Structure 1
Amino acid sequence: MTEHISSLDDQFGGRATRPMAAAFLVNTIAPYLKAQASDPVRNAMLSAAADHCYLTGYMAMDEREDGLAQRYYLMALDLAGRAGDHLTYCTTLRGMSVHAVDLGHGAQALRRAESAGSASPQAGPRMVAFLVGQKAHAAAQTGDRAGALVKLRQAEAAMEKAESRAKAFGSYDPSSLSYHVAQVRYELGDVTGSIESLEEADRLREPVYRRTRVRYNSMLAERKLRVGRLEEACLSWHKVLDDYVQVKSGRCDDRIRYMVSALHPHKENPLARELNERARPLVRTLG
């Protein structure tokens, strides 16, 4: 059930799917956790519950319900710890790092990412890439250029090893790594390089990740506008709007609001004016 809801979240966003996840947690998972069971079965249930709480926290973050997201993450850590589930424990810590870096708290994000790495000392190469890529992003946000670049090289080396194996870890893949390369480049001042890496991430991304496309293509458009590529930015934003109408996400809403604000100084440009006209009905629904 958690995997099914996660797939829906990728396509439609946290606001559309978190109520389902929360209801399943209250009505199904909680009663099961009270049932009598052998230790292996109980640990397996605790582990599954921890994974579900982690996902629900991620969806709350996507809604911009930041305090609620933290409460779900702490619940996931508690359940994973009781289950002895190091994988979900470190994945949750990494999720908390992603949340912190998204809010601009680089030092806290780095501490969480380092803790996640410590919680999984025997990780395979894909898990290493999953964790170290986040460390690189957080380090770059703190201004640690040398540390960020070292961690990025470590993530790239780990991903090369991982790609020779059949099983992926969650959704962390070469597209995700390209996104981390883009974020490190951007935090270190290389806007043009970050654009190239975001374009690479878009080429590699599986089509099911609609919410991710909205967010990352929005970043791509914003950065193209920043370096004076207005027409390319408008084309990227049109792709964003193609997907946005099917997504319910606070983070995506933020990007649409930013788009409208960023276009205002360019209202005399025909492409910008056309894009603004297309976006206007959607913006009215945001409040």
Structure 2
Amino acid sequence: MNGWGVDVARASLNQRNTGLEGLLEQARWSRTQLANAVNRTGAQIGMELKYEQSAVSHWLAGTQPREQVRGVILETLERKLGRPLTYAEAGLQQPKGRKGSDGGDTVESLMDLGRADMDPSRRGVLTAGLYSAALTVPLFTDVAHAQEGGRATRPGGRIGPGDVVTVRTMTDRIADILDELGGGLARPMAAAFLVNTVLPRLRSSGEEKDRKDMLSAASDLTYLTGWMAMYEREHGLGQRYYVKALKLAGAAGDHVTYCRTLRGMSLQAANLGHGNKALQLADSAAQAAPGAGPRLVAFLRGQQAHAASMVGDRHQAFTRLREAESALSRADSRREAVGGYDRSAYQFHVAHVLYETRDLAGSITALKESLKSQPRRERQGRVHSNAVLAQRQLELGHLEEACATWSAFLDDYAQLSTARGDDHFHTMRRRVAPYRRVRAARELDERARALADAKR
């Protein structure tokens, strides 16, 4: 039961919740508006909530919502007010196990996070699944050269250059598996390698340079794991991995991974529709990388362009695109396996900007250019690009062209384990359904039905 009846049954002392009442007033929301917003936030993490005005009235009267719902209420109010909140501030009891989950030693808390991610029975816990739009991001100057992993705690263990090479190589291989087979298969491998191999090494002794290099390599792997969690719809988990990656990058003095992670966080905010947050994070990444090389500059400028277009800043969006193109033209031919930026990624940013500025035809052209430039091995990226392209072709009224693009999408989707691909697959079936009398749509629907049966 998802209504307020369960909450009433679990009520403690019915003292009026003046904290929640004050936040409701600051948000300028009615009780019905809060209930509806909580339902929407819950839906983003797979919780089917059906709260109404009466439930909020009980909360205000002192009834404590269920533990899982308290986090949803807090996040909903944070998004509305645009600032972090505490459970106490909202008059809510802190859920068990929440205290200190993100504090203390980064290596130890990341170990706990990775272990939870490896365990399917723990993966769906709300505290690991809820995205916070009001999260305060640690500045590089605050985390730079922090002494994470500074003391050896494993007798006999010692970090050497070979250990760093191993972590870098495995990270690249996991990125390849992500591209070829999808995050559903690659992320459990990343979490297991992080927990069983990488993090224990950070508790070993070693030369200062080797320790810093290992912290940097661990940060890169943590960033990649967060990236995969984000695209597997585990947005809160992805965000927590990202914050850990920022802290490890700071401890390593690694500006590049720190800025790249901020850019990933900006993309996550953009995917969830938080344009202002996306722009703030993209700008922060750019400001933290004054001496970055041209490829990273292009990477960051492209994301700034995307975010600026989301908030209606057309001038900044196109200015940033020109800067991204200029920087990319100066980059060498080497492209990083993790978080690399190339011509295909640039054209994808162009497509985002043009779509946000209502140039649908131009956006479609840019997406086609992006696909032409995409490395053949990157099946995961191609699935996303083809799905987006087909949706926009249909929006333009080109049904048969959209069906052909969706058919190409299915070619790759059939080989992947990917929650993002699943979303695109369901969207395709829903949007094609009204056109089944058209031969191209009917054939596509029949193929999709057969594939759904096979995957099931």
What corresponds to 2:334 in structure 1? 167
Larger-Rg structure: 2
Name the SS of the counterpart of 1:246 in structure 2: coil
Q: Distance in 1 between matches of 2:450 and 2:273?
A: 30
Q: How does 1:180-191 map to 2 (within 5 A)?
A: 180-191=349-360
Q: How many residues align?
A: 285
Q: Which residue of 195, 213, 229 corresponds with 2:382? A: 213
Q: Distance in 1 between matches of 2:290 and 2:326?
A: 17
Matched, 1:229 2:398: yes
What corresponds to 1:120 in structure 2? 289
Q: Distance in 2 between matches of 1:101 and 1:245?
A: 27
Q: Distance in 2 between matches of 1:78 and 1:219?
A: 34
Q: Which residue of 72, 86, 97 corresponds with 2:241? A: 72
What corresponds to 1:251 in structure 2? 420
Name the SS of the counterpart of 1:247 in structure 2: coil
Letter of the aligned partner of 2:335 in structure 1? A
Contact kept in structure 2, 1:126 and 1:169, CA below 8 Å: no
Letter of the aligned partner of 1:208 in structure 2? R
TM-score w.r.t. length of structure 2:
0.61
Q: 1:286 to 1:149 in 2, by over 3 A?
A: farther
Q: CA deviation at 1:146?
A: 1.1
Q: Point out the more displaced range, 115-124 or 191-200.
A: 115-124
Spell out, residue by residue over 1:16-69, the C-alpha distance to the aligned partner (whole angstroms, 9 max, x if none).
Answer: 110000000110011101101121111111111000100000111111111110
Letter of the aligned partner of 1:166 in structure 2? S
Q: Distance in 2 between matches of 1:145 and 1:286?
A: 43
Letter of the aligned partner of 1:17 in structure 2? A
Q: CA deviation at 1:284?
A: 5.1
Contact kept in structure 2, 1:127 and 1:169, CA below 8 Å: no
Q: CA deviation at 1:263?
A: 0.6
Q: Distance in 2 between matches of 1:97 and 1:223?
A: 23
What corresponds to 1:103 in structure 2? 272
Name the SS of the counterpart of 1:68 in structure 2: helix
Spell out, residue by residue over 1:122-180, the C-alpha distance to the aligned partner (whole angstroms, 9 max, x if none).
Answer: 01211111110010001101111111111111111111222xx2323453111110111
**Structure (1 or 2) with the greater helix fraction:** 1
Q: CA deviation at 1:283?
A: 3.6
What corresponds to 2:299 in structure 1? 130
Q: Distance in 2 between matches of 1:199 and 1:173?
A: 15
Letter of the aligned partner of 1:14 in structure 2? G
Q: Point out the more displaced range, 251-260 or 167-176.
A: 167-176
Q: Which residue of 432, 435, 439 corresponds with 1:266? A: 435
What corresponds to 1:82 in structure 2? 251
Letter of the aligned partner of 2:266 in structure 1? S
Q: Distance in 1 between matches of 2:334 and 2:443?
A: 44
Spell out structure 1 runs of 4+ moving beyond 2 A.
Answer: 165-171, 281-287
Name the SS of the counterpart of 1:156 in structure 2: helix
Letter of the aligned partner of 1:128 in structure 2? V
Q: Distance in 2 between matches of 1:226 and 1:83?
A: 47
Structure with the larger RCO, 1 or 2 (CA within 8 Å, 6+ apart) = 1
Q: CA deviation at 1:262?
A: 0.5
Letter of the aligned partner of 2:333 in structure 1? A
Spell out, residue by residue over 1:80-124, the C-alpha distance to the aligned partner (whole angstroms, 9 max, x if none).
Answer: 111111011001000111111111111111111111111111012
Structure 1 vs Structure 2: percent identity of aligned residues? 51
Q: Distance in 1 between matches of 2:454 and 2:227?
A: 24
Matched, 1:240 2:409: yes
Contact kept in structure 2, 1:13 and 1:247, CA below 8 Å: yes
Runs (5+) with no aligned partner, structure 1: none
Q: Point out the more displaced range, 275-284 or 204-213.
A: 275-284
Name the SS of the counterpart of 1:108 in structure 2: helix
What corresponds to 1:54 in structure 2? 223
Contact kept in structure 2, 1:256 and 1:283, CA below 8 Å: no
Q: Distance in 2 between matches of 1:284 and 1:190?
A: 37
TM-score w.r.t. length of structure 1:
0.96
Runs (5+) with no aligned partner, structure 2: 1-169
